[in-house]
Copies of this chain bind each other. A is one copy, B any other.
Amino acid sequence: MTAYSATLAIDEELRARRRAGEKVLHLGFGEAGLPVPAAVAAELAEAAGRNGYGPVAGSPEARAAAAGFFARRGLATEPEQVLFAPGSKALLYALILALPGDVVLPRPSWVSYAAQAALAGKRTLGVPVPAEAGGVPDPDLLARALRDAPDAGMLVLTVPDNPTGTVARPDHVGAVCEVAGRHGLAIIADEIYGELVHSGARAPSPAEYLPERTVVTTGLSKSMALGGWRIGCARLPAGAWGERLHAELTGIASEIWSSLAAPMQAVAAHVLAEPPAIREHIAAARRLHGAVARAVHAEFTAAGVNCRPPEAGFYLYPDFEPLRPRLARQGIDTGAALAAALLNRHGVGVLPGEAFGDAPEALRVRVATSLLYGDTDARRWESLRSDSPAGLPWVAGSLAHLRDALTALRG
C-alpha cells in the first residue's frame, strides 16, 4: 500500500481541523504561501489558446528559457538537455525509475524520495547528514556505506535542503560528489529551493562537481509559490550518458503524463527568462522566508531546543533532545509522539522526523514556516512588502502561539 505523502496528508488534515473550528498553527506543509503576481496570471490567461499536446520535453520557448536560466547559474545548457513535467516530483520519480540500481539518500531527506523508490521497486539506503547542514550525506559515512552496497546506482542530494532549511557547503558537496563519482553513481540534484538562499548567495550545485553524471531538477513551486500549478523541469548533463537518459526520461514521460500543460509551459518560459519584475518578486520572497524562519528559529532556541539556523527556504528541523527528560515525563519518547503532542495538546502541526527517514526515537520534527504569511492575499502581499514581517499582527500572533506551546510543552 502506497502511503499518502506525509506532507500532503498533514496539509489536508490541518486544513480540515481549521474548517472544523480548531485553532491550529500550520507548520506542517512546504507550500510557499504567497500570491500570484498579476503579470504571471496574465501569462497563464494569454496562453489559454494553447491546447495542443506539443513536444513531450516541452516547447522550444520553454526549453530555451530553462537553458538560459541554468546558463546564468554557471551551467552551460542547450535546450535539448531540458525536460519539463507537471512538477519536479514527477521528474524525480521518472529518474528513480530510469536509472539503474538502488537509491542512496541523505538522512533525513524529503518524504517522497523513499516512497518513489518503493513505487519503482528499488531499495533505499539512508546515510546521515553532518551536523552543519542537511541534504548531503557525510562524505566519510557515504564512502563507508557504499563499500557494503554494490547495487547502489544513484545518490539524491538536496541543495538547499528540505527538511533542515540549510545549504551544504561547497567543499562538502564536492567531497560527496567525488565519492559518488568514484563509485559510478548518478547524482539526482534536487535544487527546487535553489532560488531561496536567504543571503541571496548561489547554493553549490552538484552539477559543478560531477557534471557528466548529475541531473538537476527544479521548478516554480517554491521560488514563485506556484505549487498548485505543477511546473517542474530537469537539466540533463551534456554528453552521451545524458542524451541516453534524456531519451529514456522522455519515453517514460510520454507514457505517464505526455507533457506539462501547454499554458503552464508558457508561464515557465516567462518566469525562467527572469525579467526584472520576476527577479524582484523572488528577492522579496527570499527576504520574507528568511525573516520569518529566523523568528521561528528564535522561538525554538529560546525554549532550549537545538536547531540549525535557517539558511534557505522555509524549514527548520529542531531537535528536542535537550528536553528529553521533561518530555519523557509526559510520555513523549519518539518524534511521532512529539508531533502528536504538539498537534493534539498545543495546536501546532509539524511532521515527525521519521517521515523524513530519521530515527523514530529521535525527538526531531520538521517545521515549515511558509504558511504564516496570512490567510488572505492582501495579508500575504503585505507580508511580502514588509521590512519586518515578524512584527505584523498575524505573524506575531503565530509566533506567540508557538511560544506558548513550547512553554507549555516544557512543563
The residues of B that contact A248 with a CB separation of less than 8 Å are 1-2
CB distance from A191 to the nearest CB of B (A): 18
Closest B residue, CB atoms, query A252: B2
Q: How far is the CB of A116 from chain B (nearest CB, A)?
A: 5
* Chain B residues whose CB sits within 8 angstroms of the CB of A226 once the complex forms: 51
> Quick check: A53 and B8 within 8 Å, CB to CB?
yes
- Check B45–A44 contact: CB distance below 8 A: yes
Complex contact A227–B35 (CB within 8 A):
no
With A49-B35, A226-B51 already in contact, the answer to whether A5 and B261 are too (CB < 8 A) is no
B residues less than 8 Å from A252 (CB atoms): 2, 119
Is the beta-carbon distance between B228 and A3 smaller than 8 angstroms? no
The reply to whether B36 and A256 contact each other, CB–CB distance below 8 Å, is no
| Nearest CB of chain B from residue A307's CB, rounded to whole Å | 26
CA distance A98 to B377 in the complex (A): 39
Whether A41 touches B48, Cβ cut-off 8 Å, given contacts A255-B89, A256-B90, is yes
With a CB–CB cut-off of 8 A, which chain B residues contact A263? 44, 228-229
Task: Tell me, in angstroms, the Cα distance from A97 to B97 when the chains sit together.
Answer: 13
Q: Is the CB of A52 within 8 A of B36?
A: no
How many Å lie between the Cα of A5 and that of B55 in the bound state? 11
- Contacts A55-B12, A255-B116: A50 and B228 contacting too (C-beta < 8 A)? yes
Indicate which residue in B3, B4, B262 contacts A229 across the interface (CB closer than 8 Å): B262
A380 to chain B, nearest CB (A): 10
Beta-carbon contact of B4 and A257 below 8 Å:
no
> Does A183 sit at the interface, judged by CB under 8 A?
no
Which chain B residue shows the least CB distance to A220? B51
Q: Determine which of B11, B50, B256, B259 lies in contact with A256 in the assembled complex, contact meaning CB atoms within 8 Å.
A: B256
Quick check: is A381 within 8 A (CB to CB) of the other chain?
A: no
Which one, B98, B256, B259, B377, contacts A93 given CB within 8 A?
B256
Q: Does A301 contact B (CB under 8 A)?
A: no
Give a binary string over A60-100; 1 marks a CB under 8 Å from any B CB, 0 the rest: 00000000000000000000000000110110010001100
> What's the minimum C-beta distance from A244 to chain B, rounded to whole angstroms?
8
- Closest B residue to A251 using CB positions: B2
For residue A163, give the distance in angstroms from its CB to the closest CB of chain B: 17
Which B residues are CB-close (under 8 A) to A164?
A: none
Question: Would you call A31 an interface residue if the criterion is a C-beta within 8 Å of the partner chain's C-beta atoms?
Answer: yes
Question: Which residues of A304-360 are within 8 A (CB) of B?
Answer: none
A87:B258 contact, CB within 8 angstroms:
yes
Question: Contacts A54-B228, A86-B86, A261-B228: A254 and B4 contacting too (C-beta < 8 A)?
Answer: yes
CB distance from A188 to the nearest CB of B (A): 15
A228 proximity list for chain B (CB < 8 A): 50-54, 259, 261-263
What is the interface of chain A, defined by CB distance below 8 A to chain B?
1-5, 8-9, 11-12, 29, 31, 33, 35-36, 40-42, 44-45, 48-56, 86-87, 89-90, 93, 97-98, 112, 115-116, 119, 121, 225-230, 247-248, 250-252, 254-264, 377
